Amino acid sequence: MSEKHLQTGDDLPANSGKLRLFAMRFCPYAERSVLVLNAKKLEYDLVFINLDHKPEWIFNFSPKGTVPALEYEAGKGIFDSNIINVYLDEKYPDIPLQSSDPLRRAQDKMLVEQFAGAQSAYYTAAFNAQALQPDMVENYHKGLGILQKEIEFRGTKFLHGDEPGLVDFTIWPFLERFEALPLLGKAEFTIDKSKYKVLTNYMEAMRNVPAIKAYALAPDTHAKFTESRIKGDANYNMLDSSAVCCMRPRKKKE
Ligand SMILES: N[C@@H](CCC(=O)N[C@@H](CS)C(=O)NCC(=O)O)C(=O)O
């Protein structure tokens, strides 16, 4: 899989007949769908796009040009991570990722909703730090506290049960990125082990889930990408090995 992000003017790669996800390597919403595809052991192609110079064809799959978008049949798209993930779970039920109990599904959604405050505090801290207010830091820790309490209350390894489900994969991409904040000088966003023992144990278990291991990035990688974006020159291709160019070996003088 190439980590190169396609941009305006680039051709849409040929469809291989598999499901295809349009994503951006550092996008937490796209990661949600990648994790669900991985956990359900579905075959898929991944196409990364440059969000500052979007290829024209992304709008055929996602009307606002946002990622993720899923090409579920040749030329036909579904956009928005939550819509994609529920579709995948219902369309491919072999490995179910949601509870069969409607109340538990509602509780999962309420948890995601309550976590949203932490997410928006993260975005401000990471990308618009001058607008950061003390109540946002409070909201961040409030969100983490609610999450930790719920993990404790459910008493299972993951929120979904013995294995992670949609609720875990929806929240995880943000937890992964929260750990970049102290590296960006935002020490007040540290997820302290002494305060968040249950949560940090949960995060450790999540990091070891094969679906996550195959895609997760280290905090310093997220920090580097964030720094490039803040500077106004998002380095989308920083993981693309083909972008690292090699010097041609010089001809030996005879
Ligand atoms: N609610 C959407 C949000 C997706 C989203 O905002 N994606 C960002 C990248 S992380 C995006 O595509 N931004 C480009 C744009 O807004 O034009 C989802 O869950 O899929």
Interval 79-106 mean pLDDT? 98
| Nearest atom (ligand 1) to Cα of 54 | 17
Could you give the CA distance from residue 183 to residue 189 in angstroms, rounded to a whole number?
10
CB 212 within 8 A of CB 174: no
Q: What is the largest CA-CA distance in the chain?
A: 79
Residue whose token pair is 């295809």: 20
Could you give the CA distance from residue 171 to residue 140 in angstroms, rounded to a whole number?
13
Q: Is the CB of 96 under 6 A from ligand 1?
A: no
Q: Is the CB of 65 under 6 A from ligand 1?
A: yes
Query: At 109, is the pLDDT very low, low, confident or very high (cuts 50, 70, 90)?
Result: very high
The architecture that CATH gives domain 5-91 is 3-Layer(aba) Sandwich (3.40)
**Burial (CB count within 10 angstroms: exposed 0-12, middle 13-18, buried 19+), residue 17:** exposed
pLDDT digits (tens, 9 = 90+) for 19-66: 999 999 999 999 999 999 999 999 999 999 999 999 999 999 999 999
Question: What's residue 3's pLDDT?
Answer: 84
Cis peptide before 164 (omega within 30 of 0): no
Best residue among 47, 64, 66 to mutate for probing ligand 1's pocket (most ligand atoms within 8 Å of CB) is 66
pLDDT digits (tens, 9 = 90+) for 245-254: 444 444 444 4
Best residue among 67, 120, 229 to mutate for probing ligand 1's pocket (most ligand atoms within 8 Å of CB) is 67
Q: Among 48, 3, 40, which Cα is nearest to 22's?
A: 48
Question: What's residue 2's pLDDT?
Answer: 75
β-bridge pairing 69-73 and 76-79: antiparallel
Q: Is the CB of 27 under 6 A from ligand 1?
A: yes
Indicate the DSSP class of residue 118. Answer: H
The architecture that CATH gives domain 102-216 is Up-down Bundle (1.20)
132, two tokens: 């950061």
CA-nearest residue for atom 20, ligand 1, is 80
Q: Among 64, 90, 96, which Cα is nearest to 77's?
A: 64
Domain ranges across the chain:
5-91, 102-216
> What is the number of helices (H) and of strands (E) in the chain?
8, 5
Q: Among 125, 153, 127, 154, which Cα is nearest to 139's?
A: 125
Q: Among 40, 136, 167, which Cα is nearest to 95's?
A: 40
Q: Is the CB of 99 under 6 A from ligand 1?
A: no
pLDDT digits (tens, 9 = 90+) for 132-166: 999 999 999 999 999 999 999 999 999 999 999 99
Q: Is the CB of 67 under 6 A from ligand 1?
A: yes
Question: What's residue 18's pLDDT?
Answer: 98
